[in-house]
Chains A and B, each alone.
Chain A
Amino acid sequence: MTFDFTFFSGSLLQTYVLHGFLFSLQLTVLATCGGIVLGTVLALMRLSQRALFHWPATVYVNGMRSIPLVMVLLWFFLLMPFLLGRPIGAEISAVITFIAFEAAFFCEIVRSGIQSIPKGQTSAALALGLSQQQTLRWIVLPQALRNMTPILLTQVIILFQDTSLVYAIGAYDMLKGFEIAGKNSGRPVEAYLAAALIYFLICFSLSQLVRHLQQRTSFTK
């Protein structure tokens, strides 16, 4: 068996792959930002002493983390038309599902980040007269965020790889782009290889960045 990559051309990539690639990136960025914001809210709820906040967040996070992403994707995509009375696009459905799903994972990262800050820091801030909220805003969260940056980025790498799961609901992402490009040129194996290479390059450079950050933060500690 011989590989032939000559069918790849700029126009082929532009026609089939480019907008899929951009959607994969978009999905990663939106799910990261939305997931961190929602995850931080969930983390604060889980750390709350009040049962009213604590329990719903705990049930949500443990529930989400026990279900495969691809099932959540499918359920949401198939159930929404029943609830809304009209179908929503696969891409929008994917963005919402990813934010909701990743939030559960980011929640646990943020929660352990907050718990990694020694109690003495909170005591010192409170003793100066700062309120609970001010202590969180100025003392705990900035330090927690710095401690958890490497692991957050690691989660983003996993998230980027997981975006390929949107094939289940037919959304047009990078993998789908390569698949169609391969089919149309009669070279599916080479197309999948090229897709793998791009996933590898992006994930590998991100993990190098994680390593670099880990070395830097351990230096300042």
Chain B
Amino acid sequence: MRELNLIEEVRTRLVRKGFSRRYAGRATEELWDHYCELIAEVERQGKMRADAKRDAAARLGDATELADEIFERLRATSWLGRNPSISFGMLALMLTILWWGALAVPAAWACGLLVENAALRPLDGMLIAIDWIRAGSHIVPPLLCCHVAQRYFCGWKPALWACLVIAIHNGTHIAQLKPAPGATTVATWGYTFNTANGPGLLAITAPLAVFALFWIWNSRESFVHKQERVVA
């Protein structure tokens, strides 16, 4: 069934390019409706159904070209899509900084580190909070980058780029609190390429794993099965 293959191929290509299953499903539903209208039109001209189906599929166009044009046109509708390297590199870092800022400041306040004589407070709570925030930063910012790439029709490549930036960030970033002599606390924040006390493999691989899982989850289910029921 070339016609079903054509419509399914558009859907598959859109999903492979990084569009959401929802959008790809909508586009293929519209193509399917158009295809049915074309069959009815050709049949009214006195052609057999098999010929009508063949004509209708030919008039819809080529699946690759359709998917490419949908992708190019929609990607061009946002600044993120038009400048993916810069925008997603920046987005990855900004989301990571926002994540740390949004959680570390309230955690420090909750642990009593933002009040007078903070140095006298125990650091245990804050150290635990930093561990949790760090673990979350391995998952949440990459997930948001993948979502933004999908929402603004940017494709999977910018999302992968953003996850790589976050992986590099995780691999080189340090954030530590250490009690120092004289009842003071030393906060260390910065980047290092020293692998001796590195972040571990998980910190680097987690954003890439999030990316992989996001797109595997997105590409599940097939449109063909649904339409085959309609045809039957």
Question: Do A and B form a real pair?
Answer: no
Residues of A within 8 A of B (CB): none
Residues of B within 8 A of A (CB): none
